Structure 1
């Protein structure tokens, strides 16, 4: 049984793996954070090797390792959680996901595998084609 758990999150406003990767690479220090309203109850499991899997255009396409969680107090005084994520962005096999709000837990056995080293540099398929292929279980 796996010691860790993952998160899955919609990547709003990003249209491709390359666009998300460029955004991450532009971050100072190579560590990126994502602020969310809810603090994960399974914090210990997340920090034992968990990743945040990004859904881009309805398809899980990438992941980043979770390296920590920190409290952030917004201008409105509300406590939030910053999920600290490492670079680089890791390309995964495509896996279709329906829209949802916030983030969800993702068991390791349900997470798509990383693409093999040689395929990680392949150009991305058009989003519609990638989603159709994922729907029928080809990719």
Structure 2
């Protein structure tokens, strides 16, 4: 595996995130990129809730999966892409808060398969509240037409 330049990876992730229509639609913001860790923040919006007024589970899953995948991008070469091949979500508490923090963190790096764990937190006046956890598995994709960073 060749050496990974953190400046290049940071730029690559930011450019890729900017191309994600789903994250743009949600109003999500990429707030941290470091070796093996990526964080995304999302403001509360009534448009993102389910019938009980809490953040929709599908949106929690989507944003956690995105944070996990980008955390994996910090571990691979710039000519490699990733596709999620599996994830498991545990919804632990209702998604009530002013903002939400989604953190993806590498559990097991690899050259073909990478595993990451994600945590979602509701942020308000008090301490952050854990609302969901995820374990996700990504597959490295090399040289496949139409799939790039």
Per chain length, whose mean CA-contact separation is higher, i.e. which structure has more relative contact order (CA < 8 Å, sep 6+)?
1
After TM superposition, is the score higher than 0.5?
A: no
**Which TM-score band (shorter chain)?**
under 0.3
TM-score, length-normalised on structure 2?
A: 0.23
In the superposition, the TM-score normalised over structure 1's length comes to 0.24
